[in-house]
Amino acid sequence: MKKSQSAVGLLVPHEPRGPELAKTPTGIRGLDEITRGGLPKGRPTLVCGGPGSGKTLLALTFLVNGAIQFDEPGVLLTFEENAEEIASDVASLGFDLPELIKTKKLSVDYVRVERSEIEETGEYDLEGLFIRLDYAIRTVGAKRVVLDTIESLFAGLENDSILRSELRRLFRWLKEQGVTAVITAERGEGLLTRQGLEEYVSDAVILLDHRVHDQVSTRRLRVVKYRGTHHGTNEYPFLINADGISVLPVSSLALQHAAPLDRVSSGIASLDGMLGGKGYYRGSTILVSGTAGTGKTSLAAHFLDAACRRGERCLCFLFEESPQQHLRNMRSIGIDLEPWVTAGLLQFHADRPSRYGLETHLATMHQVVADFKPTVTVIDPVTNLMTVGTFADVEAMLTRMIDHLKTENITAMLTSLSSGQSEIERGETTISSLMDTWIVLANDVAGGHHRRGLYVLKSRGMAHSNELREFVLTDHGLTMLDAAGRSPRDAA
């Protein structure tokens, strides 16, 4: 790959040269990034997938966003549901189709196609459809058109030559009108679509997939084809929830993160001292690993409390406890996080790992981060995600999440439950290699006494102490002990 010199003198991947194809933005989070700006302007795009994959929702979102965000009226030509049914379907997403129709920002035309009528006619062409569609386009001054779904239009037509001829004619007619069109189609057997032709006459093809593995469902999107422009070619997880549809780009790992020099406190003065006296680098990632009961969650709570005291917005992903249980447990060591929740500085997002697949968890976390806009994030514990994926799968998911957090300059702490063996001995150091700082907590029970210890295994870019420090958990939080085994309070 060619390289170009950036303004700050660093080598960065070279962007493609030459004019890009004119694009029409969809307004769908992530999709416009993958397609480098949206769908091909004035050309048809095919969106195909199986039942329930999200084809109609993607197409409708494209229309509604066009009307509201980009002042581009649209036309929906539907062959399966009428305007009232469609409006009811998407009302829960905040789409007010009746209002858009009333203000002439959207036209919805339901075309009833009966199989028996097509069989009886014998001759079949789309001239009547063109007249109807042309009238709707002129009525609202449409720039965007959606046809949902194309199979219904050709239901019962057995003559392949007529079908192919009319399909080509339809796509050509849409191009001639200068509208940006989205045509939805059902997934075929061994082909992207049932007819196997739409994918060739479209300028862009987007494939939606809804798969289930081990009783866990995952939605994925792939841009199969896009004439005249560069685009992301991977499979991308996407979400359909109360906020609509959002796509997660996962391939933009260009390693161009900023490297701030300012530091943030761990919330524990003695630990800050072990880190050069200043704490972690802002925007860095910290791994806290240890066996059960070593105090990983407690150390993370100190970090959250200190950030909230600085007035920073903090986000905590919980995969083991409910928010209320977490708040109660932290109060037992003198850390009351509830006032920060009330003040809107701290938000919890709790989920069972088995609720989704890894990519859906990743997409959900991206969306929560985008909505709340934190500067500090905790994920506790990441090892619980092992229940829904292999080590390699979790590693890939965390790599993407860490990349996103670094890109957003978010300081992140991840806790990890380790076995009694050394992680290095087990060879499972891949996750830790992604971290800037790695803090290891240890338990020791000898002579009837329970002792906890902490040491900094690594901390990139700063001088730090590798000394093992004993600590205790009391109602005053995590407290380091001195060489004589005394806490600062005892020494005083």
Round to whole Å and give the CA distance between 91 and 1.
47
Ramachandran angles phi, psi of 72, nearest 5°: -120, 100
Name the token pair of 322: 């409910």
Q: Which of these, 358, 344, 354, 278, lies nearest to 315 by C-alpha position?
A: 344
The catalytic site residues sit at 80, 320
C-beta of residue 346 within 8 angstroms of C-beta of residue 340: yes
Q: Which of these, 112, 81, 111, lies nearest to 97 by C-alpha position?
A: 81
Q: Which of these, 311, 312, 329, lies nearest to 320 by C-alpha position?
A: 329
Residue 19: cis peptide before it, omega within 30 degrees of 0: no
CA distances (Å), origin 16, targets 4, 31, 40: 11, 19, 18
Residue 149: cis peptide before it, omega within 30 degrees of 0: yes
Round to whole Å and give the CA distance between 394 and 388.
9
Ramachandran angles phi, psi of 142, nearest 5°: -65, 140
191 DSSP 8-state letter: S
* Distance, C-alpha 52 to centroid of its chain: 20
* Residue whose pair of structure tokens reads 């896009």 in the numeric block: 226
How many residues are listed for the chain in this entry? 492
- Strands 376-380 and 204-213, how do they pair? unpaired
* Residue whose pair of structure tokens reads 């209320």 in the numeric block: 324
Round to whole Å and give the CA distance between 183 and 290.
53
C-beta of residue 202 within 8 angstroms of C-beta of residue 171: yes
Round to whole Å and give the CA distance between 198 and 166.
11
> What residues have CB less than 8 Å from 48, skipping those under 6 apart?
55, 184, 185, 186, 187, 192, 193, 198, 199, 205, 206, 207, 208
Round to whole Å and give the CA distance between 402 and 416.
15
Round to whole Å and give the CA distance between 441 and 453.
6
DSSP string, 160-214: HHHHHHHHHHHHHHHHHHT-EEEEEEE--SSSSSSSS-HHHH-SEEEEEEEEEET
